Amino acid sequence: MLLVLSCCALGLVAHACRHQAWLGGILRVIIVISLGVELLTCLGWSGDELSNQPSAGLLSQRQWSLAVTVAVCASTCLSLFWFFRAGLSYLLTIVNQILSGQVVLAAIRRGGILKSFLSERIFSAKSMPHLVALWIYVTTIGVLLGTVDPSSIKVPILPIPIPVPLGQLFTYNGLGLVVLALCGVGIFITRQPLDACKRLGWDKPTWVQVAIGVGLIFFTFAYDYLWSLWTHQAGGDLASQLTHYNSGTFSAGGGLGPSFLLALFTGICAGVGEETLVRGALQPVFGILPAAILHGLLHGQFSHAPIYLLQVSLWSVMMGIVRRYTNTTTTIIGHAGFNFLTVFLFAFNP
């Protein structure tokens, strides 16, 4: 929660730069200090590699961590320059247009590709909130990837208590991520509450969008089933490991009532929190793919089988496409509904 609150503060300060330009200088100083820490880390690890030759396995791990830190350091440095952010804006927009199918739709309209590209630009190179968001995004990706074991491609396990307490579901997955998203779009600074909700895609869904959201629940069950046909036969006893994790994490005890309560909390908190942050706040800034990649990596509880992270990321891409043509409320229905049903099944009959 401390990290979440820190990011909330950075987001609000970034939006406040539009009223107080001097705050932008402070944020840039903070980013430069972060860059300096990353540089010192790289230099320290390089010296350690030369003076101490550890075992082959440890060397491989340290080399991977060093490579990730160097990449983060380079990205942080480049992000301070306008020309890099401008190029990134073009690249992210092109990728998003292709992935969302906007290129095809524009081509059908004949001559609308350039117009669509110009009107659908994402990631503003001149926006201080977008610069801060980029820095936080790159740093988060770096932290998550930096501790990956290159020999097994396993990601670090997030410190999630087992079984998951309802308090954590509410404070972090629910309230924490929602507040982070609201601060990220500048609530009370550049946007009033209603405008912030609209920016996050919290629109009243039509009946068609409700139907799409319900359809996403069935789609996700089918998607998981098709993946299981491959992953559970790929070796490593993945099915048993996943069952063991789910039955241990979503353990309610006491029968129908506690199981229903746990499923309801998980569905609402995780569904609303993750969709609001990933689809509502991040996707309009970075596009469908970067938001989906971060969403996948945040599921570090699947460290025993990195293939599940790819599964979540690809599913998140599909949800992002739906969000592009509807709203965040639609994807919340699909995400929360699927979480509710699956957690209830794990908790009531593990």
pLDDT of residue 265: 86
pLDDT of residue 198: 96
- What are the angstrom distances between the C-alpha of 336 and each of 102, 192, 217, 218, 333? 27, 26, 9, 12, 5
Distance (Å, whole) CA 226 – CA 157: 26
pLDDT of residue 238: 64
Distance (Å, whole) CA 251 – CA 145: 29
Q: Which helix (H) or strand (E) holds 319?
A: helix 307-325
Its pTM stands at 0.89
Q: How far is CA 232 from the centre of its chain?
A: 26
Are 279 and 268 in contact by the 8 Å Cβ rule? The answer is no
pLDDT of residue 266: 86
- What are the angstrom distances between the C-alpha of 236 and each of 201, 240, 242, 308? 40, 9, 11, 13
Distance (Å, whole) CA 202 – CA 276: 8
Q: Which helix (H) or strand (E) holds 286?
A: helix 283-286
SS3 252: coil
pLDDT of residue 50: 44
Are 324 and 100 in contact by the 8 Å Cβ rule? The answer is yes
Closest to 257 measured CA to CA, from 128, 146, 143, 347: 347
Per-residue pLDDT of the chain (350 residues; tens, 9 = 90+): 788 889 999 999 999 998 899 999 999 999 999 999 888 877 776 554 544 545 544 446 677 788 888 899 999 999 999 999 999 999 999 999 999 988 877 777 766 777 777 778 899 999 999 999 999 999 999 988 877 766 655 555 455 555 566 666 777 778 899 999 999 999 999 999 999 999 999 999 999 999 999 999 999 999 988 988 887 676 656 666 666 666 656 665 557 777 888 888 888 988 999 999 999 999 999 999 999 999 988 876 555 567 778 889 999 999 999 999 999 999 999 999 999 998 888 777 65
